[in-house]
Amino acid sequence: MKVVLLAGGRGTRLSEETDRRPKPMVEIGGKPILWHIMSVYHAAGLREFYIACGYKGEIIKAYFRDLHLQESDLVVELAKGAYDAIRSNAPDWRITLVDTGLDTMTGGRIRRLRPDLGETTFLATYGDGLADIDVRKLIAFHKSHGKLATVTAVRPQARFGALVLDGDAVEEFAEKPQIADGWINGGFFVFEPGIFRYLQGDDTVLEREPLERLAQEGQLMAYRHEGFWQPMDTLREKHLLESLWNSGKAPWDLRRSHNGG
């Protein structure tokens, strides 16, 4: 199954990092967050990726062009100007990188990939959010309901401590709890090719008319993910993800718990 990664946005709230590179290339533990997201899918046995590039897309292309060499030992014959890569640790991913326009919206980027995606079910997500999602269960859920689209619903952790009050008395205090109500869009979509009927042009914002219409027509289902989910919209969130990775216990690092990685 093919995986679409939306990697064309400007990431203006991370301007300290994104002045130099696109947001999906901001590093966590020395690897772009895009690499981490792809590893989540790879843990479920998926290896065919389509990256929708836009802002500073040439940096994404250069990274994946050179990744095999970066992850390999090299034998260099200086007199011949030749080299061989040996003992590669690069993952067996097949990556198609497509320039989908500098100012194209999320739905428009997916629409531009239609010639590459064909008429089959495909997955899609944003290039700036991580989760410990079991992609196999997500796909099984999508297949079970027979609708056009599945969105992963998440309940993010509250930024501040929660108070339950009884008059002026604090009845309960919880430091940064998971939000109990109000599921939100966490990305990690599954789409049938019929989704393209809802994507009209480059200015189509996936999260507006397309998903709104799908919901109204009963064609959008939610896969509830109760586990870890974290976007990287600010430097604070980048530092949080970095600290989790450096601890050796990053929740989204599923390589050891699946056979696909």
| Sole residue written with tokens 């203006």 | 12
CA 222 vs. chain centroid, Å, equals 17
Look at residues 234, 199, 63, 183 and name the one whose alpha carbon lies nearest to residue 124.
Answer: 199
Taking the C-alpha atoms of residue 44 and residue 32, their distance in angstroms, rounded to an integer, is 20
Which of 11-25, 50-64, 88-102, 107-121 bottoms out in mean pLDDT, i.e. has the lowest? 11-25
Say what the pTM is: 0.88
Taking the C-alpha atoms of residue 233 and residue 225, their distance in angstroms, rounded to an integer, is 20
Q: At 174, list the tokens.
A: 């919880």
Query: Hey, what's the torsion of the CAs at 60, 62, 66, 68, to 10 degrees?
Result: 30
Tens-digit pLDDT profile for residues 101-139 = 999 999 999 999 999 999 999 999 999 999 999 999 999
Q: At 23, list the tokens.
A: 């947001």
Residue 121, Cβ density class (10 Å: 0-12 exposed, 13-18 middle, ≥19 buried) = middle
Please provide the average confidence, as pLDDT, over all residues in the chain: 90
Tens-digit pLDDT profile for residues 189-231 = 999 999 999 999 999 999 999 999 999 999 999 999 999 999 9
Structural domains in the chain? 2-151+185-246 (3.90.550.10)
Average pLDDT over residues 5-15: 84
Let me know: does 125 contact 187? Beta carbons within 8 Å. Answer: yes
Taking the C-alpha atoms of residue 192 and residue 117, their distance in angstroms, rounded to an integer, is 10
- Compute the chain's Rg from CA coordinates: 20
Residue 77, Cβ density class (10 Å: 0-12 exposed, 13-18 middle, ≥19 buried) = exposed
Let me know: does 149 contact 220? Beta carbons within 8 Å. Answer: yes
Tens-digit pLDDT profile for residues 80-106 = 999 998 889 899 999 999 999 999 999
Strand bridging mode 129-131 / 229-231:
antiparallel
For residue 259, the model assigns a pLDDT of 39
For residue 261, the model assigns a pLDDT of 37
Q: What are phi and psi of 242, to 5 degrees?
A: -60, -45
User: What are the start-end ranges of the E strands in 80-238?
Assistant: 82-86, 94-99, 122-126, 129-131, 149-154, 162-166, 169-174, 184-185, 189-191, 220-225, 229-231
Let me know: does 255 contact 39? Beta carbons within 8 Å. Answer: yes
Q: Which amino acid is at 13?
A: R
